[in-house]
Chain A
Amino acid sequence: MAFLIVQALTGLASAASLFLIASGLSIIFGVTRIVNFAHGAFTMIGAYLAYSLTERLGGAFGFWFGLFAAAVAVAAIGAATEILLLRRIYKAPELFQLLATFGVTLMVQDLVILAWGPEDLLGRRAPGFTGAVMILGQRVPAYDLFLVAAGPVVLGALWLLFNRTRWGILVRAATQDRDMVAALGVDQKWLFTSVFALGVFLAGLGGALQIPREAVSHSMDLRVIVEVFVVVVIGGLGSVPGAFLAAVIVSEINAFGILIFPKISIVVVFLVMAVVLVVRPFGLFGRPEAARRTTPGATIRPWQPLGRAGRIAVAVLVSALAAAPAFAGPYLLSVGAEILLFVVFAASLQFLMSVGGLASFGHAAYFGLGSYGAALAVKWLGAPMEAAILAGPVLAGLGGILFGWFCVRLSGVYFAMLTLAFAQIAWSIAFQWVAVTGGDNGILGVWPTAWASKPAAFYWLSLMVATVSVAALRILAFSPFGYRLRAVRDSTLRAEAIGIDRLSTQWIAFAVAGAVAGLAGALYAFLKGNVFPDALAIPTSVDGLVMVLLGGLETVSGAAIGAVAFKALSIWLMSQTDYSKLVLGAIIVVLVVFLPKGLGGLADLVRPSGTGRNDASGSSPSEAAR
């Protein structure tokens, strides 16, 4: 019994910093609708700054002041980020801020290494809380007890802030209804900046408070961001008490789960999230998002199929690409094939996001299932390459049908997070089921058959698959089904009122997107000769998102451009420098600010609005993103 109580206390201590960081993220999302991917990076900066300050200042006062000052400094950095970067792009399509904060995260990862060095830094223990306290005959770290108390104290302070101050009441009102608060004459700019600063302050504080518990390392951010997102979603977006409860639930399930299943922590948060979202589509304390108000009168240019000139241009481009083996060496051809396969992957995600209005954060699952489908067919069935490549999309399509059935029942960020949860569950299966998948050591020896083993042959194969896939997805987008999918995206109410079933329409789109991603994954396995769980891990999903956003969310096929730009740039930078993330992040940030419609939106700059055939719909941000 004593053991169980102490285990519960340990769980609560872990919950505290998780809650702090998560509540910051939740507040930011609630008011600004920014999916702040950089939240983990801010947490990490908080920890690094706290380390430096506490080492330099010394003494008990120095320690506590150092923690607080670090959090304040992070808040200032956050406010600066909001003013200099995010403020410029509030009008951009939803999720575009995700791309901006992703760029910031990439930069921060390299910047902290430049500033603090690559080694893990072990900070001081908290003065006054260095030892342990005996509870029921068991030793509990005093600092854990401090954290157990700190969680509710912060929760209480936030409650007072939001219920007893004018600013807090405004924030709550803005969480409920932004437009109304704007209509009441509140200066939204500074409200957003202050909310962002508060959220980031909590992130910084959460990071700083970890100093006495763990080493500060440059990989903290990604570990934090995913877990915190999950907590926010389980609790319900925008709900601070929800974040608290979710942090406690996740931490306690982890603390007790490892007693029964010692390997559970790899997937526990995602299992909890999947179950919660299936049962409660808006998290524990969340409310359905208010129906978005469309803005009639906004200039919107509907998509058009390619005209004659467009088709000729595409034919010329494909022919030119097909001629590449005449002058490019084997390495460039392999890189070309890789880029083309990512074009397919990005196009499949774009079909889901742009045509379907369903932003998936877990599209890597289907890419990875495609890779594993092909690799398993080779390994266990001895299938030839041609058959194995078909096994990929089949497995991915089945995965899409299974996971999609649950996912399309949700919408918005909840949908995105459920796709993430399923992707992580698929990842952990690939990672843990060593007997079948080889675990993290992967499946090796998935090489193409003789006719495709020459780089030129594989390049042509990839070019053909990319051309056919992108064209097929375009045709589908302009078919009656594609129109129904867009109809559901634009106005579910109207779509249902003219007999279109939202669920089945989106479900089919989900499965199609999954199967096409799986095709890319299957070929990718043969390109690399192997498959590892990385193929379905979060970074692959994020890469896909970045490609779509970079290419232009409001376009039909801009993701192809985004994929080429992003993949070529990252391969080239990685080959050239160890600080590829810093450069890539900076490029993304610059692109976000100057090209809010993505690279595909470049066409808009060339052609004045309202003329000519154009991919870009140029719709109001809310419409296309929904």
Chain B
Amino acid sequence: MTVVVDVDGIHKSYGGVHAVRGVSFRLAAGEMLALIGPNGAGKSTCFNMLHGQIKPDRGRITILGRDTTRLDPRRIWALGVGRTFQITATFGSMTVIENVQVALVSADAALAWRLGALGTLKRAEAERLLALVGLADQAGRPCGELAYGDLKRLELAVALSNDPKVLLMDEPTAGMAPAERIDLMRLTAEIARERGLGVLFTEHDMDVVFEHADRIMVLDRGNLIAEGSPTAVRHDPKVREVYLGGGSTFAAETEVAAPAPGGAQ
């Protein structure tokens, strides 16, 4: 099995808050790895460090054999890392297909500095990606008109435009209707397997997590407290302590944390 991401003892503090304390893990090609934990556990900080938005205080991150600890997001992208955001980040003033075209053209040095119009550059490829995520019929629509779930799909298409080896997905299904969630994660899992993509994702919806993850890591107050197969994690006493200690259940957690559709803003 090929390791695509190797995280070795990363730390991050903000002021006095020690958000991530020595987290280490590996992600293999073709694997769906979930990172879960209560709010404030340090999931987003981990993601942002992997993606280069934040630099770790200590530790080392290796992606596809390269030390990326100090690299910027755009260099990490160039290595072959796609990313979707917890709150969707798309180009609201463009059409759906233009969103994908920009990503494709920017990755192509020969096209990036052409002075002619973007027009049909990489259009066929963009259409293929949109078809892959099920947005083919929406290609010409203004991005700002899309339903929230479709925006999440668009993000996935954009993230895949670089033919990445690693996909970082921060709450990919937040704000989606339950049926849509399952669709999107099934699609992601298929792509991961087909293309040998390593996928790291965080998720509040435990149904999604236990359904689609090959492996689950549990983060609590900056520490990795458990790691293993869904079944192993489900029965890990430390995990139960973290989630159930406050008297809540997995189900309750899901209710509280998953925002109502469209209400994530």
Residues of A within 8 A of B (CB): 293-303, 305, 475-476, 478-484, 486-487, 489-491, 493-501, 617, 619-620, 623-624
Pair B91/A494 contact, Cβ less than 8 Å: yes
With contacts A295-B265, A300-B144, A497-B77 taken as known, whether A624 is within 8 angstroms of B93 at the C-beta atoms is yes
With contacts A302-B93, A303-B93, A484-B102 taken as known, whether A499 is within 8 angstroms of B145 at the C-beta atoms is no
Which chain A residues lie closer than 8 Å to B89 at the CB level? 491, 493-494, 497
Pair A494/B90 contact, Cβ less than 8 Å: yes
Which chain B residues lie closer than 8 Å to A487 at the CB level? 91, 94, 102, 106
Pair B265/A496 contact, Cβ less than 8 Å: no
In the bound complex, what is the Cα–Cα distance between A294 and B115 (angstroms)?
30
> Which B residues between 142 and 187 are near A, CB-CB below 8 angstroms?
142-148, 151, 155, 158-159, 161-162
The 10 closest A-B pairs by CB, nearest first: A300-B144, A494-B89, A490-B91, A498-B103, A499-B77, A496-B73, A478-B117, A499-B74, A491-B89, A300-B142
Which chain B residues lie closer than 8 Å to A302 at the CB level? 93-95, 98, 142-143
With contacts A296-B146, A498-B107 taken as known, whether A491 is within 8 angstroms of B265 at the C-beta atoms is no
Which one of B85, B121, B143 contacts A493 once the chains associate, using CB atoms below 8 Å?
A: B85
Question: Most chain-B CB neighbours within 10 Å: which of A476, A483, A491, A498?
Answer: A498
Distance (Å) between the CB of B72 and the closest chain A CB?
7
Distance (Å) between the CB of A606 and the closest chain B CB?
19
Which chain A residues lie closer than 8 Å to B116 at the CB level? 475, 479
> Which B residues between 193 and 235 are near A, CB-CB below 8 angstroms?
none
Pair A300/B92 contact, Cβ less than 8 Å: yes
Pair A498/B101 contact, Cβ less than 8 Å: no
Question: Most chain-A CB neighbours within 10 Å: which of B92, B115, B146?
Answer: B92
Distance (Å) between the CB of A622 and the closest chain B CB?
9
B78 in the interface (beta carbon within 8 A): yes
Specify the chain A residue showing the minimal Cβ separation from B81.
Answer: A497
Which chain A residues lie closer than 8 Å to B155 at the CB level? 494
In the bound complex, what is the Cα–Cα distance between A620 and B147 (angstroms)?
16
Pair B117/A491 contact, Cβ less than 8 Å: no
Distance (Å) between the CB of B81 and the closest chain A CB?
9
> Which B residues between 11 and 31 are near A, CB-CB below 8 angstroms?
none
Pair A498/B94 contact, Cβ less than 8 Å: no
Pair B142/A299 contact, Cβ less than 8 Å: yes
Distance (Å) between the CB of A490 and the closest chain B CB?
4
B68 in the interface (beta carbon within 8 A): no
B45 in the interface (beta carbon within 8 A): no
With contacts A484-B106, A486-B91, A487-B91 taken as known, whether A620 is within 8 angstroms of B144 at the C-beta atoms is yes
Question: Most chain-A CB neighbours within 10 Å: which of B85, B89, B95, B158?
Answer: B89
B257 in the interface (beta carbon within 8 A): no
Pair B158/A619 contact, Cβ less than 8 Å: no
B188 in the interface (beta carbon within 8 A): no
B105 in the interface (beta carbon within 8 A): yes
Which chain A residues lie closer than 8 Å to B118 at the CB level? 478-480, 482-483
Pair A483/B51 contact, Cβ less than 8 Å: no
Distance (Å) between the CB of A292 and the closest chain B CB?
11
Which chain B residues lie closer than 8 Å to A303 at the CB level? 93
A selection of 17 A-B contacts at a CB cut-off of 8 Å is A293-B87, A295-B265, A296-B144, A299-B145, A302-B94, A302-B143, A303-B93, A475-B117, A490-B91, A490-B92, A491-B92, A493-B53, A495-B91, A496-B74, A497-B77, A499-B162, A623-B92
Which chain A residues lie closer than 8 Å to B159 at the CB level? 497
Distance (Å) between the CB of A182 and the closest chain B CB?
13
In the bound complex, what is the Cα–Cα distance between A81 and B239 (angstroms)?
59
In the bound complex, what is the Cα–Cα distance between A490 and B115 (angstroms)?
21
B69 in the interface (beta carbon within 8 A): no
Pair B77/A296 contact, Cβ less than 8 Å: no
Question: Most chain-A CB neighbours within 10 Å: which of B77, B106, B148?
Answer: B106
Which one of A295, A495, A498 contacts B161 once the chains associate, using CB atoms below 8 Å?
A: A498
Pair B144/A486 contact, Cβ less than 8 Å: no
> Which B residues between 92 and 144 are near A, CB-CB below 8 angstroms?
92-95, 98, 101-103, 105-107, 111-119, 121, 142-144
B83 in the interface (beta carbon within 8 A): yes
Which one of A480, A482, A484 contacts B121 once the chains associate, using CB atoms below 8 Å?
A: A480
With contacts A301-B142, A479-B117 taken as known, whether A294 is within 8 angstroms of B92 at the C-beta atoms is yes
Which chain A residues lie closer than 8 Å to B98 at the CB level? 302, 483
Which chain A residues lie closer than 8 Å to B72 at the CB level? 496
Which chain A residues lie closer than 8 Å to B92 at the CB level? 294, 296, 298, 300, 490-491, 619-620, 623
Name 11 extra pairs, CB < 8 A, besides A293-B265, A479-B117, A493-B85: A302-B142, A487-B91, A490-B93, A493-B53, A495-B91, A496-B53, A496-B74, A497-B74, A498-B162, A500-B106, A623-B144
Pair A500/B74 contact, Cβ less than 8 Å: yes
In the bound complex, what is the Cα–Cα distance between A515 and B38 (angstroms)?
53
Residues of B within 8 A of A (CB): 51, 53, 72-74, 77-78, 82-83, 85, 87-95, 98, 101-103, 105-107, 111-119, 121, 142-148, 151, 155, 158-159, 161-162, 262, 265
In the bound complex, what is the Cα–Cα distance between A27 and B173 (angstroms)?
39
With contacts A494-B85, A499-B74, A499-B106 taken as known, whether A483 is within 8 angstroms of B144 at the C-beta atoms is no
Which one of B83, B102, B148 contacts A296 once the chains associate, using CB atoms below 8 Å?
A: B148
In the bound complex, what is the Cα–Cα distance between A98 and B213 (angstroms)?
52
With contacts A481-B112, A498-B106 taken as known, whether A305 is within 8 angstroms of B117 at the C-beta atoms is yes
Which chain B residues lie closer than 8 Å to A489 at the CB level? 93
Which chain B residues lie closer than 8 Å to A481 at the CB level? 112-113, 115
In the bound complex, what is the Cα–Cα distance between A495 and B72 (angstroms)?
12
Specify the chain B residue showing the minimal Cβ separation from A304.
Answer: B95
Specify the chain A residue showing the minimal Cβ separation from B168.
Answer: A497
Specify the chain A residue showing the minimal Cβ separation from B115.
Answer: A479
Which one of B73, B102, B107 contacts A483 once the chains associate, using CB atoms below 8 Å?
A: B102
Pair A490/B94 contact, Cβ less than 8 Å: yes
Distance (Å) between the CB of A380 and the closest chain B CB?
34
Which chain A residues lie closer than 8 Å to B78 at the CB level? 499
In the bound complex, what is the Cα–Cα distance between A481 and B121 (angstroms)?
13
Which chain A residues lie closer than 8 Å to B121 at the CB level? 480
Specify the chain A residue showing the minimal Cβ separation from B175.
Answer: A296
With contacts A480-B111, A498-B161 taken as known, whether A296 is within 8 angstroms of B265 at the C-beta atoms is yes
In the bound complex, what is the Cα–Cα distance between A36 and B155 (angstroms)?
38
In the bound complex, what is the Cα–Cα distance between A489 and B82 (angstroms)?
20
Which chain B residues lie closer than 8 Å to A623 at the CB level? 92-93, 144
Which chain A residues lie closer than 8 Å to B145 at the CB level? 297, 299-300
In the bound complex, what is the Cα–Cα distance between A495 and B102 (angstroms)?
9
Which chain B residues lie closer than 8 Å to A300 at the CB level? 92-93, 142-145
Specify the chain B residue showing the minimal Cβ separation from A622.
Answer: B92
Which chain B residues lie closer than 8 Å to A478 at the CB level? 117-119
With contacts A479-B117, A491-B92 taken as known, whether A296 is within 8 angstroms of B151 at the C-beta atoms is yes
Distance (Å) between the CB of A470 and the closest chain B CB?
15
Pair B90/A486 contact, Cβ less than 8 Å: no
Question: Most chain-A CB neighbours within 10 Å: which of B53, B93, B95?
Answer: B93
In the bound complex, what is the Cα–Cα distance between A305 and B95 (angstroms)?
13
Pair A499/B107 contact, Cβ less than 8 Å: yes
Which chain A residues lie closer than 8 Å to B106 at the CB level? 480, 484, 487, 498-500
In the bound complex, what is the Cα–Cα distance between A478 and B120 (angstroms)?
11
In the bound complex, what is the Cα–Cα distance between A303 and B118 (angstroms)?
12
In the bound complex, what is the Cα–Cα distance between A600 and B127 (angstroms)?
32
With contacts A491-B91, A497-B51 taken as known, whether A480 is within 8 angstroms of B105 at the C-beta atoms is yes
Specify the chain B residue showing the minimal Cβ separation from A476.
Answer: B115
Pair A498/B144 contact, Cβ less than 8 Å: no
Specify the chain B residue showing the minimal Cβ separation from A500.
Answer: B106
Specify the chain B residue showing the minimal Cβ separation from A294.
Answer: B92
Specify the chain B residue showing the minimal Cβ separation from A489.
Answer: B93
Specify the chain A residue showing the minimal Cβ separation from B112.
Answer: A480
Which chain A residues lie closer than 8 Å to B111 at the CB level? 480
Specify the chain A residue showing the minimal Cβ separation from B92.
Answer: A623
Pair B144/A297 contact, Cβ less than 8 Å: yes
Which chain B residues lie closer than 8 Å to A490 at the CB level? 90-94
In the bound complex, what is the Cα–Cα distance between A620 and B88 (angstroms)?
16
